[in-house]
A and B are shown apart, each in its own frame.
Chain A
Amino acid sequence: MKVKLKIWRQANAKAKGQFKNYELDDIQDEMSFLEMLDALNSKLIKEGENPVAFENDCREGICGTCGLFINGRPHGPGEQIATCQLHMRLFKDGETIVIEPWRAGGFPIIKDLVTDRNAYDKIMQAGGFVSVNIGGTPDSNAVLISKEHADEAMDAASCIGCGACAAICKNSSAMLFIAAKVSQLALLPQGKVEASKRAKRMVAVMDELGFGNCSNTGACEAECPKGISLAHIARLNREFLKANIKS
């Protein structure tokens, strides 16, 4: 199949970017979206042009590095998949595909389609962990966890930190990401100990880093490749309120 590409090119963080048009002829249905971009880059290198910078690593929907805004949606068409799991068969022959980087205040552009997503790491460093003492491994059966809580925590834990939530949000809010992390840990006995501190710290860092305020539109949930539910945001709100009432 043939595709026409409209890709955001920007030489560096400070440069003024613009869209550039490309055409590719030999694209197979079964190619993944990133393979299509690889094909484009091979062609560009042969022609002596700078290849398009984009991020990717595991290419199996786990690492969370490959977020692209494709045809108006984060990770493109297709439900609950990351960009690397997107295949060319979801596009029509001859279709124009618009590819943009995440555009959110918290994710400045580094080059072309690559954005700086350190902000999510900084939020994690503020509280997305449990503190454990060194020593012998504790007996895993000694701490009982109900099936419901284990399931919900597992759902929250499936967040891959890709940034699609803030990218689609009209307010560039990172709430779904933080909610997933806070929720995952608050549901488990090991994480409960630091739940209050965690909620307060992570929210404080989120506010500092230029993300907007969540207005509950639900776009993040609809576009999240892991289907993280808004219910986790409600839990984050609860945890945050509880933490502030306590202190």
Chain B
Amino acid sequence: MSNFITSSLGKKVILSLSGLFLIMFLLVHLTANLFLLGGSDAFNIATHFMDTNPVIQIIQSILALGFIIHILYALIIQFQNWRATPVKYKKKYQKESSSWSSRNMIWLGIFIFGFLFTHIINFFYVMKFGEMSSTIVHGEEMHDAYKLVVGLFTGGTLAYVYSGVYIVSFVALGLHLNHAFWSAFQTVGWSNDIWRKRLSVIGSLYALLISVGFTVIPIYFLFIK
């Protein structure tokens, strides 16, 4: 087993499985976000549920672990890959042989990590440890998470800047996922000439869903609401 974890393929399996776990998480997160479109009460109830449900609390720690493992292994693999290519070609033509995302996963990943960091400070940290106003929905007192979101996405230039960062980040995430989805299945051995096409299509659709789904939120608050 120790050989497996230190082998190149073993490390990649860990990277893929943690990635697939994060892929599932994004769907859950997106579902929760879309409650925003249902107005303040709907979103606050959804957030309250997430905040207080014990199962979700446990999953939250696993999620953090998933992120850490994914990032750590991505870095280890990337550093080994840089070491394996000590000299660059003078002329290298690769546009047609591989996709841009597949060649830039690490940079997209680092960009997404930067976003994740600000995102955690803006939302997660405030909700868990910060000062938040509360509201009463159906007779129950809870955090007014809706107000927090509205505060970030509306009013003033800062809201535009933040929305811009948010949108660009989700384009980056979409590009990352576009390669990641099929790639994860390939790495765990679930692919052949037929499934590769299917998985690529599903992966692109999934990436599009995540990108569009998440960018709808700032656009909704900036321009529609």
On A, residues with C-beta under 8 Å from B are 6, 19, 69, 71-73, 98, 100, 103-106, 168, 170-173, 200, 203-204, 206-207, 210-219, 222-223, 229-231, 233-241, 244
Contacts and interface: CB of A to CB of B under 8 A. Distances in A.
A213 B85 contact: no
B7 A207 contact: yes
B7 to A, nearest CB: 6
Contacts of A6: 90
Q: Which 5 A-B pairs have the closest CB atoms?
A: A72-B93, A238-B189, A212-B84, A222-B97, A217-B98
Question: In terms of DSSP, what is the predominant structure of the interface of chain A?
Answer: mixed
B183 interface: yes
Interface stretch (B25-33, B61-69, B110-118, B191-199): B191-199
Contact of B92 (A19, A72, A173, A241): A72
A212 B93 contact: no
B188 interface: yes
Contact of A171 (B85, B93, B96): B85
A230 B105 contact: no
B99 interface: yes
A237 B8 contact: no
A192 B88 CA distance: 39
A234 B102 contact: no
Interface residues of B, number: 44
Contacts of A170: 81, 85, 94, 98, 103
A92 to B, nearest CB: 16
Contacts of A233: 186
Given A215-B105, A215-B183, A235-B189, A103 B89 contact: yes
A143 to B, nearest CB: 24
B98 A219 contact: yes
Report which residue of B12, B96, B105 has the largest number of chain A beta carbons within 10 angstroms of its beta carbon: B12
